[in-house]
Every structure is written in C-alpha cells, then in structure tokens.
Amino acid sequence: MKISKLSELVDQYALELYVVKKEISKQYPINKEQIDQIIVDEMQKYFTSFHSVQINEIKPLIDLYKDQENDQLKSIILQQATGLNISINDQKKLDLISISIQLLDNVLFYKREYQKQFSSHIFEKNLLASGAFLSGTPHAKTMSKLVVSENIFELERRGFRPIVYRNDKGAILNTYDTKVLIGLFKLWMIQGCNKNIEFEFKELAEAMLTKPSGGEYKLIYDSLQNIAATWIEYKEYYDQSKHKYYSATVKHRPITSLKLIARKREEENGKERAAEIVFHDILHQSLLARNYVFINMVIFNELPTSYARMIYLSILNGIENDNRLFNIDQLIDQIIITDENYNRARTINTIKNSFEHLLQADIIADYEFVKVKNKVTFIQYNPAEWLLVHRQSQLENHDS
C-alpha cells in the first residue's frame, strides 16, 4: 500500500477514535489513563484493515507522524512563549497525531505477534549454507560463460561453504525457488515426513503462504522443474546424525524425481496443477535428523527485497552456529555471482539497506559495519530477542 493511502486510512481511524475519546470524556468521570486504555481496546477493531500492510511500510509512517508531532509541539510552545493560548484546532491536530502514532504502534505490535505464529516452516541447513540460491539472476554474458554443454551450466560457489552447482536446464535458483522448497519441506512435515510427497499446486501455494492463482501455479511449475534439474556437489557436508563435518565430496540432486500430474485432459502439456516429488536420500536423512532451521514464512514473504530474504536465512543459520559476525565478501559470495559488472561499494550499500529492512522487521536488534584498515570487512549483528526465544521454544516443542 502506498504511504499516502496508508496515511489516509490512519487519519480516518484517528478521527473516529478522537470522537470516541471526546464522548467518553464527557459522559464518564474517569481519569486519563482509563480513557487511554479504552481507546487502545477500541483500536483493536481496526487491526484487520492493516492485515495486508507490511511492517516496512508502517515504521516510516510512524516516523513521519512523529516529525509532525514535534513540529506541532514546537508551534504550541512558541505560542505559549508569546503569551497566546493554544487554539482548539491546534490541540485537536496534536491529539489526532498522537492517536495516529498510538494506533500504528499497536498495529505494529499486533503484526509482530501475528508473525510469530508462523515460525514452523523449515529449511535444511546444508542447502541453506550452500549458496545454491541467489538473490537474482546474473547478466546474460555471465550466464553464457557458465555453460558446459548445450543448456547445461556449472559454477563453483564459495560462500559460507564451497560447492559446485550444476543445472541441467541452465537455470539459476533464486529466492522464489527458495520459497517453493520451503513450501515442499512444509508439506513433507504435514504428510508425515516421507521421502516422496504428492500435492496439488494449491496445497503448495498455501504451504508457501501465497494466494493460489493461475499466475502462481505457472511460477510453481517452472520452479519445480528448475529445482529438479539441480545438482549440488558439496565440498563440506554436515551429518547431523553423527554431528560431523565431512570434507569428502557429497553430490546429489535435492529432488531425484519429479512427476507432473494432469488431473484432467486440459491440464496436460505444461498446464499440470499437481505433482509428486521424491527427495534425495541424503537430503531426506538430513531432514529426519532435524538438520534444519525454523523459518518465519510471513516475515520471509514480507521482506521487500531478495537480498533481505537471503540475508534473513543466513542470519537464521548464524544463530544456529552461535555466529553474530559475517565476513562481508563471504556474504556477498553467498547471495550473488560477482562478474565484470560487480561494484563492491554499491553491493555493500544494498546490503546495508537490507539490514535496515531486517531491523524494521524486528529480525535483528542492531547491526554494525566493521572496518579493517579502513575497508568494510565484517558485519556484526544481534538477533532480536523474540527470535532467540521463539527458536528455543520450537526446539523444545519438537523434542517433546
């Protein structure tokens, strides 16, 4: 929602709440704290109107209203300093701004509490650390250099863990493919943790917390084929059941079999709306050993950029390893392919903006860029407290 439209909605509700507050003040002999509590309770009926509004849209508007509040307070103080009484209109304007801020603060709290209910999605840790999923597609010239035969290409990735990535369709996996795989892992849990799962595209879309639609089904169709065409060769692999890292090469397709199912004739030839997949045994055993992180799918979907989504996943992985520090170049290698168009300063600025999004989404409490010999070398961050608490409760729930 555009900030102007959101502001209009807030102004409308603030005026309604202002009227209610005035009526209560006239009719009931109660103190200011009691009136404020009644207004907070009254605000709850508006929360559903903000359901589709994202946190990163709310926080800038709160800052805007706070600036207006400061300007209005300065104006009132100036009037008082010159011996003038505060006009009814000036006081009303200040009250409306104050109610707007209070409303948005409560909406923000409501949305964060709502988000915390959706931390039951998972992602396998070796895949997460592999750097197989990128924040975007490289330039065509860069892609052409990766082709090894016909439409097959291969590249070596050196992010948090070195791998060789190969795709038989010439595709780069992106954040949408990440989302599809998260949805598949959710269905894996729902259907009893079996190696093979069968599903309607509608079920997968719902598992991804995405609205089912024809356009979404087309994206899912393409993504499933891209994931199924992927080979990953790990140079380091963590075996959760043995709690060991292996330096020996481990190579597999995450999905070993994909069958697209036509429920009726008009769904044939690329219009299938159901599928059956089989996870590779190595991946499946890792999932059974609970070698995964918990993901909040609402937060993942609401983050405004692909960079922010991929860094969010890296932060979750960092929490698992008790790591609060990223090497900036290693992080860059994890989420993009650098080529002749790569600009380090511009990329670092994009990462900084992504950390601001993560801060606004209440994923991190703070962050700092650390320089070594005047060069930005590390990013230090602290996860939000609720994220740590929620992760611990999820672990306890799964162990019980």
pLDDT, tens only, 46-80? 888 887 787 778 888 999 999 999 999 998 888 88
Q: What is the pLDDT of residue 35?
A: 81
Q: What is the pLDDT of residues 95-154, one digit of tens each?
A: 999 999 999 999 888 877 777 666 689 999 988 988 888 887 665 566 566 666 666 767
The amino acid at residue 54 is Q
End of a domain among 56, 86, 117? 117
Q: What is the pLDDT of residue 25?
A: 81
End of a domain among 67, 100, 117? 117
**Taking a C-beta distance cutoff of 8 angstroms, is the pair 146, 156 a contact?**
no
d(CA 104, CA 7): 10
Is 164 in the same domain as 269? yes
239 or 6: which carries more pLDDT confidence?
Answer: 6
Is 337 in the same domain as 210? yes
Q: What is the pLDDT of residue 269?
A: 66
Is 70 in the same domain as 178? no
Evaluate if residue 268 carries a pLDDT over 80. no
Section 293-310 average pLDDT: 92
Q: What is the pLDDT of residues 171-224, one digit of tens each?
A: 889 999 999 999 999 999 999 999 999 999 999 999 999 999 989 999 999 999
Which SS3 state, helix, strand or coil, does residue 361 take? coil
Is 60 in the same domain as 172? no
Q: Percent of the chain scored above 70 by pLDDT?
A: 88
Strands 121-124 and 147-149: unpaired
Neighbouring C-beta atoms of residue 304, cutoff 10 Å: 16
Q: What is the pLDDT of residue 310?
A: 95
Provide the residue range defining the domain that includes 52. Answer: 3-117
d(CA 49, CA 250): 49
For the record, the structure tokens of 359 come out as 């801060």
Evaluate if residue 400 carries a pLDDT over 60. no
Q: What is the pLDDT of residues 81-100, one digit of tens each?
A: 888 888 888 889 999 999 99
Evaluate if residue 262 carries a pLDDT over 90. no
d(CA 154, CA 140): 14
Domain count for the chain, please give it.
Answer: 2
Is 31 in the same domain as 125? no
For the record, the structure tokens of 141 come out as 């010239």
Q: What is the pLDDT of residue 216?
A: 94
Q: What is the pLDDT of residue 390?
A: 74
End of a domain among 117, 145, 166? 117
154 or 359: which carries more pLDDT confidence?
Answer: 359
Q: Which of 32-41, 140-149, 274-283 has the lowest mean pLDDT?
A: 140-149
Is 219 in the same domain as 257? yes
